[in-house]
A = this chain, B = another copy of it.
Amino acid sequence: MRILWIYAHPERHSLNGTLLDAGLRTLDSLGHEHRVSDLYAMDWKAVVDPADFGGPGAEPTAPGRERLIVGAAQERAHGRGELSADIRAEQEKLAWADTVVFQFPLWWFGPPAILKGWFDRVLVQGFAFGLKDEAGTTLRYGDGGLAGKRALIVTSVGARESSFGPRGIHGPIDEVLFPLLHGTFWYTGMTPLAPFTVYGADRMTPAGARATTEALGDRLRGLADEEPLRYRHEQGGDYDADLVLRPDVAPGRSGVAAQRLDARDRVGAGH
């Protein structure tokens, strides 16, 4: 396997750093290739701006420049090979990988800005999405520029596990991470795996850290065969022309949980 590991933690000497080191050793022992993007160490630029797009538009304050339409500017620069070198390097790593690990502390129930900016800047139209098949259908949700790759979130939270459970105060972790799992991974064609969440990270004992490292190793050893989270394919027949679930699909259900392919099995469970 070829694994790209995106590490978005400001401190390498941390529980997350330990998990990264141990994870890479596990991948080595399995004979998998890996590359790491340590975003803080790379001083990764988080903010989309005209400097991303090369050419004349790279002068953000140039008088008389046309107004910036981000999606169009990204797509055009990508098509011309004019995206900035740091973006192209990440796209090259992504194209190389068959599996991507995104490791980050959960800040405000989402990725730190440095990682959010990685998605904003790297996953441009024409590369990650907005591609069409031979019939002219736009490939999205289950298909797209990154189809066939698997994506694993490794995240750490201070809270205890119960509070991220089905009826926990913070919301179920897979619903809190829906913008990544469904809106980013699945949208671009990547297959999302269940997040590997480290709970109580602030109060972790040495024994707890060893158990967590071991559990991550187990996940990595089973990576290729693991059953992923199953969302619905946009083109799979579940949606009408307005991109709404057809009445016979998960009847009476709504919300993000209804986008899970197993939603119909969970009615009894109260989802």
Is A202 in contact with B255, judged by CB distance below 8 angstroms? no
Q: Mark A112-134, 1 if CB is under 8 A from B, else 0.
A: 11101101100100000000000
A116 touching B108, Cβ below 8 Å: yes
- Give the distance to chain B from A234, nearest Cβ to Cβ, in Å: 6
Tell me, in angstroms, the Cα distance from A217 to B186 when the chains sit together: 36
- Judge if A168 is at the interface, Cβ distance under 8 Å: yes
A113 and B171 form a contact (CB under 8 A): no
Contact indicator B175/A256 (Cβ below 8 Å): yes
Query: Given the complex of chains A and B, what is the CA–CA distance between A48 and B9 in angstroms?
Result: 10
Majority secondary structure of chain A interface residues (helix, strand, loop or mixed):
loop
Select which of B116, B167, B176, B183 is within 8 A of A178 by beta carbon: B176
Contact residues in B for A175 (Cβ distance below 8 Å): 175, 178, 255-256
Is there a chain B Cβ closer than 8 Å to A145's Cβ?
no
A243 lies within 8 A of B168 (CB): yes
Taken together, the copies of this chain in the complex come to 2
Indicate if A47 sits at the interface (CB-CB under 8 A).
yes
A-side interface residues toward B, CB under 8 Å?
10-11, 13-14, 40, 46-50, 67-71, 105, 107-114, 116-117, 119-120, 123, 141, 158-160, 162-163, 165-172, 175-176, 178-180, 182-184, 202, 232, 234, 239, 242-245, 250-259, 269-271
**What are 24 inter-chain pairs, A to B, with CB distance below 8 A?**
A11-B67, A11-B69, A11-B70, A40-B49, A47-B113, A48-B112, A108-B123, A108-B180, A109-B183, A112-B116, A113-B113, A113-B114, A113-B117, A113-B120, A163-B243, A168-B242, A171-B259, A175-B256, A176-B256, A253-B270, A254-B257, A254-B270, A255-B255, A255-B271
